[in-house]
Amino acid sequence: MKLGALLLGLALAQTLAACAGPRPAPPQGASVVPPPAWRTVLDGPGAPIRADWWTAFGDPVLVNLVARALAANPDLGVAAARVEEARAAERLARAQRTPTLNAGLPTTEGQTVSPFGTPSTAFGAQPSITASYDLDLFGRLRQASAAARAQALANEGARDTVRLAIVSSVASGYIQLRALDLRLAVARETLAARSEALRIARRRAETGYTSNLELRQAEGEYRATEQLVPQAQLLVARQENALSLLLGTSPGPIPRGLPLDRLLAPAVPDGLPADLLRRRPDLFQAEQALVAADRSLDSARAAMMPNVALTGSAGVVLSTALANPIGVFSIGGSVLSPLFDGGRLRAQADAAAARRDQAAWSYQRAALIAFREVDDSLASVLRSGQQATALAGQRAAAAGALRIASNRYRAGYSAYIEQLDAQRALLTAELALIQARADRLAAYVSLYQTFGGGWAREDVGAVRR
């Protein structure tokens, strides 16, 4: 007994010394201090998230498409199911901290022998209720429950990340679809102009006014423009199919609203606060993953401490061999402490510490990526606008050059090659302008996405104050 008590005392002393050691420090440069809670930012005064930022483009059809995608997108459904799974795991971890009650009704049948040697058959039953409760003195179950709670919040952040990505993809895809529609319209208009030029060239060649060289050049240019129409139609069909997938439907036509040049470009105010980045669901997910890893480390360290549990049972013995029922009860406790486990618990704690460090580095990386994406989006909004302005001027100049070249050609002052070059320049400028306008609108979508869903007037006002 003395030897057993000595071994138990040594084991407890080693366990206490191990658990009282210094807490592993996070990697240098990786902060483990989380920003304000995601729900606090959502519900906090003066900082509401603009949940319908896609309405800023002024197209009701786009608003309807986003609503359909949020209602039927399969990726969002999977993310929502994962949230429900995490919430169930949280409830399971929380249930480990509550007492457990079990009821039993064992029955027996046997023979009894009286003093006179007369055997008889006896029937008995012992209904009972057993209760057990883990005191959790060192917080093993409490920290495990907190880790499950943080993991559930991280899954909610992952779901919100998917939701924001779906909305942004629908908005960007719709903008690209309207750009492709405009490209198709330009290709058809250009093809009609090439057809008229080919008709004039054929008539001039038949009358002997020009050589067949101009006729072949006009015919070649017509065929080159003709292939742009099915190419644009193919891109439109593919874009419609991509949007159908986002909407959770089979491939089919997508309704159209405003043309590309009538979609509004939202104004970006000066002085957007950096705190808006805390609204990003991916940052919230990384934050809660860090919290979950930290709580798991606490739970692993607490597992080295003794486990104290209380048990009790109460019941009654009923038997035909007894004149009256007999009540029975028991109350007890248990203290379990690891004496020798070959380093398993220490290895589990070290693994939890390593996972916590990984989560800390991931959180820092997510923050750096957020800053980079915001800077890229702001630069895209600015530079794409400048590019669109320059291309609009180029398109106007190319249209003027085509008018002059066409008049000179019809008057016989220049060769057909000048008109041909002017036509090619105008087509190139028009297609580039369409793409630049689409890129500019897509840059606004990206900016809203990188800020976690837009901003409100109160956010800018708070910075200016």
Q: CA-CA distance, 150 to 186, in Å (whole number)? A: 53
* CATH number reported for the structural domain that contains residue 251 in this entry: 1.20.1600.10
**Residue 56 neighbours by CB under 8 Å, 6+ apart:** 264, 266, 454
Q: Report the length, in residues, of the chain.
A: 465
Residue-wise DSSP of 245-283: HHHTS-S------S-GGGS------S---GGGGGG-HHH
Q: How far is CA 419 from the centre of its chain?
A: 52
Q: Report pLDDT for 456.
A: 64
The per-residue b/e assignment along 12-31, b for 16 or more CB within 10 angstroms, e otherwise, is: beebeeeeeeeeeebeeebe
Q: Tell me if 158 is assigned to some domain.
A: yes
Residue 358, number of CB atoms within 10 A of its CB = 15
Q: CA-CA distance, 268 to 172, in Å (whole number)? A: 18
Q: What tens-digit pLDDT sequence spans the chain (465 residues)?
A: 333 333 333 333 333 333 334 444 444 433 333 333 333 333 333 333 455 788 889 899 999 999 999 999 998 889 889 899 888 888 888 888 888 888 877 777 665 555 555 566 667 777 878 888 777 778 788 888 888 888 888 889 889 889 999 999 999 999 999 999 999 999 999 899 888 888 888 887 878 777 788 888 888 888 988 999 999 999 999 999 999 999 999 998 999 999 998 998 887 776 666 767 777 888 888 889 998 888 888 888 878 888 777 787 877 777 666 667 777 777 877 777 777 777 888 888 888 889 889 989 989 888 888 888 888 888 898 899 999 999 999 999 999 998 998 888 777 787 778 888 888 899 999 999 999 999 999 999 998 888 887 776 665 555 444
Q: Tell me if 372 is assigned to some domain.
A: yes
Burial class (CB in 10 A: 0-12, 13-18, 19+), 457: exposed
Q: Tell me if 13 is assigned to some domain.
A: no
Q: CA-CA distance, 226 to 443, in Å (whole number)? A: 32
Pairing mode, strands 119-125 and 326-336: unpaired
Is 357 in contact with 27 (CB distance < 8 Å)?
yes
Q: At what angle do helices 140-206 and 416-450 cross, to 10 degrees?
A: 170
Using alpha carbons only, what angle is made at residue 385 by residues 176 and 173, rounded to the nearest 5 degrees?
15
CA distances from 314 to 101, 309, 317, 464 (A): 11, 17, 10, 69
Q: Tell me if 28 is assigned to some domain.
A: no
Q: Report pLDDT for 135.
A: 75
Q: Tell me if 30 is assigned to some domain.
A: no
Task: Tell me which amino acid residue 149 is.
Answer: R
Q: Tell me if 382 is assigned to some domain.
A: yes
Q: CA-CA distance, 157 to 4, in Å (whole number)? A: 51
Is 355 in contact with 290 (CB distance < 8 Å)?
no
Domain count, the chain: 1
Q: Report pLDDT for 271.
A: 64
Domain span at residue 159? 38-464
Task: Tell me which amino acid residue 202 is.
Answer: R
Task: Tell me which amino acid residue 285 is.
Answer: Q
Closest-CA residue to 136 (of 93, 96, 101, 190)? 96
Q: Tell me if 9 is assigned to some domain.
A: no
Q: Tell me if 4 is assigned to some domain.
A: no
